[in-house]
Structure 1
Amino acid sequence: MPEFKTYSPVFDPSTNNGLDFKVFVYELPDEFHVELKRQQKRCISDQYGTEIRIHEDLLKSPLRTLDPEEAEFFYVPWYGECFLFREEKRDHKNAISTTNKWFIRAVNFVKQEYPYFNRTLGRDHVFVFPGARGPHIFRDWKRHIRKSIFMTPEGDRSLGEQFNTWKDVIIPGLEADVELTSGKTRELDGERNQLAFFRGTIWNRGGSSYSRGIRIKMADALKGVTDVTFGEAEKSCDRACYRREMRRSVYCLCPRGWSPWTLRAYSAMMAGCIPVLLADEIEFPYENFLNWNALTVKIPEAQAEDVVQILRSIPQSVVEQKQAAIARVWKMVTWKHPAEPGDAFHTVMADLGLKRRLMKASTYTFWDHDHVKRSS
């Protein structure tokens, strides 16, 4: 039986070692962050709320420096998904173009009010794009911030320039349900007497193009399987019911939607349920130091209709190994509030720290830092 290692000695989430760099957080006008949070309460608890959470956690973190000259990273706090959500309601037709202008104003502010972006062409600057479209909600991102570091939940390498595994950081989406993030759901008594569970959109107006038709195929294949729940959301099953169904299931099915990434995998881990991934191009957070094979089951999209047979063939000893592995690391994908050692914020920062060596190897960084020191 193979040994299921969950992470390497590169980073120990129980100690947060390696977090010895400094981040300068820009002071942008309120229109780019706090005003949006105040106007759009939904943004705080939405799965894209990481753009708010990371900003607020950084402001309280010892990683933050008020001296930009000692910073190794520069964080630009903008709530782009929140702004776009507001504009979609105000003027759907022009929402993207209005959002694009808003992004450009923010970038121009950073470039004109501070000297730090220009000295590295933005290579040490960090931007959060918490939605599946990543930086594409900023239509002109390639012209303005192409070399910068993006924090995004979408690690789909098939999308080309949207995500670059060498410079960008994949982040977990925000699960705001306190019953899950506190660990209370996973601690509930009871056996896991259901094989697998899924509730969500199956029949989308996009037809078979949605989820590449995978969810529709699975719904047909799983009809009549008594120990599997696979259906759309129901009024009879509220949020508490949803959590209970995860808690009593061995596996939580995570088929792709419009894109590969899914919040379901992280919510499942918080409930102690093994995520079953059906998204061929997906890349997860922390793949530099976290072994996702020990935590999940990945099934090729082409075998979606065989999911039950595949899951039933997994030995109980392997199931128990995966459950134990999840129990050790589930906090790494959980945005605790307030942030605490070993949670998603600290682990994302650890992943960011691994990019530091790449930044230091940048010709731009060396030349410009030396130039600043010589001329000061």
Structure 2
Amino acid sequence: MRRPTLDGSLWTVLAVGQAAAPAPRKTLQDDPAFQRKNYQENIEKDAECNRSPEWGPFRAQLLQTEEDMRVELAYEKMMEWGLENVTKVDEQSKICLLGLVAMQFYFAHMLLFEVGSVEAAADAFRMMDEHSGALHPDLLDQAAGYGKTWPISADALDSLRRALLRASAGGGTGGPDRRRRFKNAFGLHDEDWSQVWGSWRPTGAAPERLAGPWGPWGAAQAGAPKPSFRVFVYDPDTMPALRALTRGGSFCKHNQWGMEVALHDWFLACPCRTDDPEDGLNLLGHDHGALSSSAYYRRMDGGRDHIFAWGSGMAADGPFATWRDWVPNAIFLMTEPELWNPYKEVVQASYAPYKDILVPGRITVDDMIALGKMAKPFDERSILGHFIGWPRPPHPSVMPPEECQNSSCPLNVRSVLLARKGEEMLHVDVDVPYMESFLGLTSSLFCFVPRGKSAWSSRFFQTFFAGCIPVLLNDRYEAPFGEFVDLSKAVIKWPMTEVDALMEYLKQLVFQDSDRLLELQEAGKELRCWYAWPPSWVEWSWLEMNKSKFNKTCQDWHLRNAYVAVTRLLATKAGSARSRFYWPNAAATPTALERPGAL
């Protein structure tokens, strides 16, 4: 058996001893992510917690107690059982998860709405979020007996989460109705906002846009520091049509599509938020049902002042297939610039470069930290190229899938890569646990990012945290934030049908230009923090992030992250008009003309 290693700028081949007998091959289904969770038996077999001599009686007493007195009972038992201790909380979560969530919910609710301490409420909610976020909202409601077994619901938890984020806008006074606090829920304070906005403007911005009462492009306005536009976030508590779309934010934020939740959290806690829907851009949910109950989406032509977030490969065409009839001019914050294979009949992408903003998928803090810890120094990386994934044909609009099923079809670039499995210097495989993929990411010089079911892939953003140089094999994909980040310094983008030539080029680069490899990797380190979605302080991972090496990975993570990038780019999309029609003394207009902006 022979293994290649990198020695300076040359590849050398070292002979190693006879390998031991291989262990049974594991597949993706063997990964811990797909294994039964510790809380499941507790929820399925004893949601009432009657097996526990403490929690069963507590549940009965809680249900018999008046609503406004339940927090006193919850606090009494919390102190009696020592549940301010994190270790004891984790132990009790395995005995009575829903009881623990109910106790912490009442405590956090009291701290926010009765005591008025946002910081203390966030601490309590964060503890609850770690446990409630493990449950799908439908499972939580079912296990709670829809309020009859435990007096909690997914909607109530969601509402409290949003209230906390709204109350934690911080970073300035924010007007007479907002309590001043030094930092907001994402760690930004007054001076940070001036750094974010004061010295930056989009390439090609007209000089006249830099003048005016706000100074530099996007500089802070009077009051709380905020950009020269404001965002109104629709509230599911007042718009029932939105509740189904926003259920279970604590649960849904965990996956690669969780940036949809993250963006809503960001704008709720942002000093740029306005509580007046007439005063700014409008951040909405997903479908025409929500629009039907809104009086504001018709204010501008085609919803031009509305923002939608789309996380999956289906983009807007899945959850909102009729968007062109309702909001053809709305701003989309989306991961997908191309077409999604399962939607064979869709031939026009919902992404429009002139109005939309491409964003990265969400990588968890745990993954970013783990990849950083596992990343090997460049001179210890023994693999030239890495790819783990399933074969995918192109979209039917490009070529009939039945005519492009294997590696004989260059457009099926994943199959072309997988056909090289077993080749020396390559780590290529399919259907393996996530850890196997992480090992490849952190041990390889180059990581291939081919087109899959659609253009975007979370693997692209993982490569930067793994210290691997991404090689895009995706002709129709442009990575996010190219408006102000020079991707060509950190990324190789190669024609997807020229894999053979690519392999020769990469070997030549290693043999003859190893300094260029280090330059690409260093540029990737500078770029990677723009692709991070750090958690807010209502999430347990906020603590993990602040006590971990993530602060060394991204030392200025509160200033250089995907939220800041999106907010910057929104400045180029916002217009000065607040309605389709306007004139002086509009309020005194005869009713026959209706108000400005109405149809």
TM bracket (short chain): 0.7 to 0.9
Distance 2:565 2:437 in 1: 27
Distance 1:305 1:373 in 2: 69
Deviation at 1:355, TM superposition (A): 1.6
Deviation at 1:253, TM superposition (A): 0.7
Q: Tell me the secondary structure at the aligned position of residue 136 of structure 1.
A: coil
Distance 2:194 2:444 in 1: 28
Q: Give the match for residue 153 of structure 1.
A: 335
Q: Give the match for residue 257 of structure 2.
A: 48
Q: Give the match for residue 252 of structure 1.
A: 447
Does residue 179 of structure 1 match 2:374? no
- Could you tell me which amino acid in structure 1 is paired with residue 306 of structure 2? H
TM-score for both structures, normalised by structure 2? 0.50
Q: Tell me the secondary structure at the aligned position of residue 293 of structure 1.
A: helix
Q: Give the match for residue 163 of structure 1.
A: 351
Q: Is the 8 A contact 1:126 1:149 kept in 2?
A: yes
- Could you tell me which amino acid in structure 1 is paired with residue 387 of structure 2? F
Q: Give the match for residue 417 of structure 2.
A: 218
Q: Tell me the secondary structure at the aligned position of residue 583 of structure 2.
A: helix
Deviation at 1:32, TM superposition (A): 2.6
Greater RCO (CA < 8 Å, at least 6 residues apart)? 1
Distance 1:346 1:292 in 2: 18
Q: Give the match for residue 242 of structure 2.
A: 32
- Could you tell me which amino acid in structure 1 is paired with residue 498 of structure 2? Q
Q: Give the match for residue 346 of structure 1.
A: 564
Distance 1:373 1:127 in 2: 32
Structure 2: runs of 5 or more not aligned: 1-191, 198-217, 219-225, 340-345, 394-400, 537-556, 589-599
> 1:74/1:217 Cα in 2 relative to 1: closer, same or farther (>3 Å)?
same
Q: Is the 8 A contact 1:117 1:125 kept in 2?
A: no
Decide which structure has the larger Cα Rg and report it. 2
Q: Is the 8 A contact 1:172 1:285 kept in 2?
A: yes
Counterpart of 2:583 (choices 365, 368, 371) is 371
Q: Is the 8 A contact 1:278 1:298 kept in 2?
A: yes
State how 1:194-209 maps to structure 2 within 5 Å.
194-202=383-391, 208=404
Q: Tell me the secondary structure at the aligned position of residue 45 of structure 1.
A: coil
Question: Which deviates further from its counterpart, 268-277 or 222-231?
Answer: 222-231
Deviation at 1:177, TM superposition (A): 5.3
Deviations 1:151-175 (A, max 9, x none): 1111239964511111001010112
What do you get for the CA RMSD once the two structures are aligned? 3.2
Q: Give the match for residue 231 of structure 2.
A: 23
> 1:59/1:203 Cα in 2 relative to 1: closer, same or farther (>3 Å)?
closer
Q: Give the match for residue 140 of structure 1.
A: 322
Distance 1:366 1:301 in 2: 45
Distance 2:272 2:374 in 1: 31
Q: Is the 8 A contact 1:185 1:244 kept in 2?
A: no
Q: Is the 8 A contact 2:387 2:427 kept in 1?
A: yes
Distance 2:312 2:525 in 1: 27
Distance 1:14 1:143 in 2: 39
State how 1:65-144 maps to structure 2 within 5 Å.
65-71=274-280, 73-76=281-284, 78=285, 80=286, 103-110=287-294, 114-115=295-296, 117-137=298-318, 138-144=320-326
Question: Which deviates further from its counterpart, 238-247 or 165-174?
Answer: 238-247
> 1:242/1:161 Cα in 2 relative to 1: closer, same or farther (>3 Å)?
closer
Distance 1:371 1:177 in 2: 49
Deviation at 1:352, TM superposition (A): 1.7
Question: Which deviates further from its counterpart, 46-55 or 301-310?
Answer: 301-310
Q: Tell me the secondary structure at the aligned position of residue 74 of structure 1.
A: strand
Q: Is the 8 A contact 1:218 1:305 kept in 2?
A: no
Q: Give the match for residue 596 of structure 2.
A: none
Deviation at 1:264, TM superposition (A): 0.9
Structure 1: runs of 5 or more not aligned: 1-11, 81-102
Q: Is the 8 A contact 1:13 1:347 kept in 2?
A: no
Q: Is the 8 A contact 1:181 1:336 kept in 2?
A: no
Q: Is the 8 A contact 1:14 1:341 kept in 2?
A: no
- Could you tell me which amino acid in structure 1 is paired with residue 314 of structure 2? R
TM-score for both structures, normalised by structure 1? 0.77
Q: Give the match for residue 519 of structure 2.
A: 321
- Could you tell me which amino acid in structure 2 is paired with residue 301 of structure 1? M
Q: Is the 8 A contact 1:125 1:148 kept in 2?
A: yes
Q: Give the match for residue 308 of structure 1.
A: 503
Distance 1:319 1:266 in 2: 18
> 1:289/1:308 Cα in 2 relative to 1: closer, same or farther (>3 Å)?
same
> 1:354/1:36 Cα in 2 relative to 1: closer, same or farther (>3 Å)?
closer
Deviation at 1:189, TM superposition (A): 6.1
Deviations 1:83-124 (A, max 9, x none): xxxxxxxxxxxxxxxxxxxx22111112xxx34642443111
Distance 1:285 1:296 in 2: 12
Q: Tell me the secondary structure at the aligned position of residue 368 of structure 2.
A: helix
Does residue 61 of structure 1 match 2:254? no
> 1:311/1:340 Cα in 2 relative to 1: closer, same or farther (>3 Å)?
same
Q: Is the 8 A contact 1:154 1:260 kept in 2?
A: yes
> 1:273/1:140 Cα in 2 relative to 1: closer, same or farther (>3 Å)?
same
- Could you tell me which amino acid in structure 2 is paired with residue 213 of structure 1? N
Deviation at 1:241, TM superposition (A): 3.9
Deviations 1:298-326 (A, max 9, x none): 11011023332121122212211111111
Structure (1/2) with the larger helix percentage = 1
Deviation at 1:14, TM superposition (A): 11
Q: Is the 8 A contact 1:16 1:346 kept in 2?
A: yes
Deviation at 1:36, TM superposition (A): 4.9
- Could you tell me which amino acid in structure 2 is paired with residue 231 of structure 1? D
> 1:48/1:253 Cα in 2 relative to 1: closer, same or farther (>3 Å)?
same
- Could you tell me which amino acid in structure 1 is paired with residue 361 of structure 2? G
> 1:213/1:188 Cα in 2 relative to 1: closer, same or farther (>3 Å)?
closer
